[in-house]
C-alpha cells in the first residue's frame, strides 16, 4: 500500500438527472462521498482523469486521496456505474475511511502457478469461478490483492474461499457467514466437451417442432 492515488473533485449543488446530464456533457462524472459518520457530499470528477485511474487494477482496492474544497479526504471506491454500451463512467460512489473502523472492499485475486499444476500438465484446464473477493478489515490492513496458488492442483482438484491465505487482520465476510464459494478448479477437457455436447442434446430434445416438421 505504498503507492498513493490522488484525484481532484469539485463540489456540486445541482441534483437530478438533468444536472447529471449537463455535467457529463461537460466532461465530468457526478458522484458522492459518504460515510465516517459525516454528511454525504455531492461531487464531480474529471472523466478523463478518472478513466485513466481506473485503468490500474490497484485503484479499485486502494485507499484514495480525494482533494475537495482545499481538504484531502481518505476514501475507497465503493461503486461505479458505467454506460451500458459506451466507454463512459456515469456515476461514482466513494466511501470515507475511518482508520478505527473496518471497511468492506472487493479486492482482486491474483492467480499463480497454474502452468505448474500437475493437473494442467496432464491436459486439464483451469476454470475460474471468481476473479475478486470482498474482504473486511481495518484500512491499514487493506491488501492490494490476494494471491491464489494453484501450483499443486491435480485433475479434479479445486480451491475454495477457505483455502485462501489471508493477510493478518483480513477476513472474508461471506466465508464467516458459511458460504465457502468455489474459486477455481482443474477440469478435464473431455468432461468439458461432454458437458457442452450434453447441453446441445438437451436443447435439441426440448426444441419446439417447426411448422414444416409437423406437416
Per-residue model confidence as pLDDT tens for the chain (215 residues): 445 689 999 999 877 788 888 898 999 999 999 999 999 999 999 999 999 999 999 999 999 999 999 999 999 999 999 999 988 999 999 999 999 999 999 999 999 999 999 999 999 999 999 999 999 999 999 999 999 999 999 999 999 999 999 999 999 999 999 999 999 999 998 655 555 555 555 554 444 444 343 44
CATH code of the domain covering residue 130 = 2.170.120.20
Asked if residue 133 lies in contact with residue 173, where contact means CB atoms within 8 angstroms, the answer is no
Residues 76 and 14 in one domain: yes
Host domain of residue 183: 104-199
pLDDT of residue 19: 85
* Residue where a domain terminates, one of 80, 97, 114: 97
pTM, full prediction: 0.78
Asked if residue 83 lies in contact with residue 24, where contact means CB atoms within 8 angstroms, the answer is no
Residues 42 and 114 in one domain: no
pLDDT of residue 20: 86
Residues 111 and 88 in one domain: no
* Lookup result for grid cell 482443474: 186
Residues 68 and 12 in one domain: yes
Note whether residue 205 is domain-resident: no
Note whether residue 111 is domain-resident: yes
Residues 133 and 158 in one domain: yes
Residues 155 and 109 in one domain: yes
Note whether residue 210 is domain-resident: no
Sheet strand arrangement including 146-149: 132-137, 103-112, 146-149
Query: Nearest CA to 47 among 17, 23, 64, 19?
Result: 23
Residues 40 and 112 in one domain: no
pLDDT of residue 13: 84
Note whether residue 28 is domain-resident: yes
Note whether residue 215 is domain-resident: no
Residues 92 and 122 in one domain: no
Residues 117 and 50 in one domain: no
* Residue where a domain terminates, one of 30, 63, 97: 97
What the block records as the C-alpha cell of 211 is 411448422
Residues 186 and 152 in one domain: yes
Residues 110 and 183 in one domain: yes
Work out the end-to-end distance of the chain between its first and last CA atoms, rounded to an integer number of angstroms.
Answer: 70
Give strand pairing partners of 91: 81
Q: Count how many residues are written for the chain.
A: 215
Note whether residue 207 is domain-resident: no
If one counts the domains in the chain, the total is: 2
Amino acid at each position: 500500500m505504498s503507492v498513493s492515488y490522488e484525484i481532484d473533485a469539485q463540489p456540486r449543488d445541482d441534483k437530478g438527472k438533468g444536472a447529471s446530464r449537463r455535467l457529463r456533457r461537460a466532461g465530468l462524472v457526478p458522484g458522492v462521498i459518504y460515510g465516517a459518520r459525516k454528511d454525504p457530499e455531492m461531487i464531480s470528477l474529471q472523466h478523463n482523469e478518472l478513466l485513466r485511474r481506473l485503468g490500474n487494477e490497484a485503484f479499485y482496492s486502494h485507499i484514495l486521496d480525494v482533494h475537495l474544497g482545499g481538504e484531502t479526504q481518505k476514501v475507497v471506491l465503493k461503486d461505479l456505474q458505467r454506460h451500458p454500451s459506451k466507454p463512459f463512467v456515469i456515476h461514482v460512489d466513494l466511501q470515507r475511511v475511518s482508520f478505527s473502523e473496518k471497511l468492506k472492499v472487493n479486492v482482486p485475486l491474483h492467480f499463480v502457478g497454474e502452468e505448474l499444476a500437475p493437473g494442467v500438465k496432464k491436459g486439464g484446464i483451469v476454470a475460474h469461478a471468481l476473479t475478486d473477493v470482498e474482504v473486511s478489515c481495518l484500512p491499514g490492513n487493506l491488501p492490494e490483492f490476494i494471491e491464489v496458488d494453484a501450483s499443486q492442483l491435480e485433475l479434479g482438484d479445486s480451491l475454495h474461499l477457505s483455502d485462501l491465505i489471508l493477510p493478518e487482520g483480513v477476513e472474508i465476510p461471506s466465508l464467516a457467514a458459511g458460504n465457502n464459494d468455489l474459486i477455481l478448479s482443474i477440469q478435464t477437457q473431455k468432461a468439458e466437451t461432454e458437458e457442452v455436447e450434453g447441453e446441445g442434446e438437451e436443447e435439441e430434445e426440448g426444441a419446439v417442432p417447426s411448422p414444416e416438421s409437423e406437416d
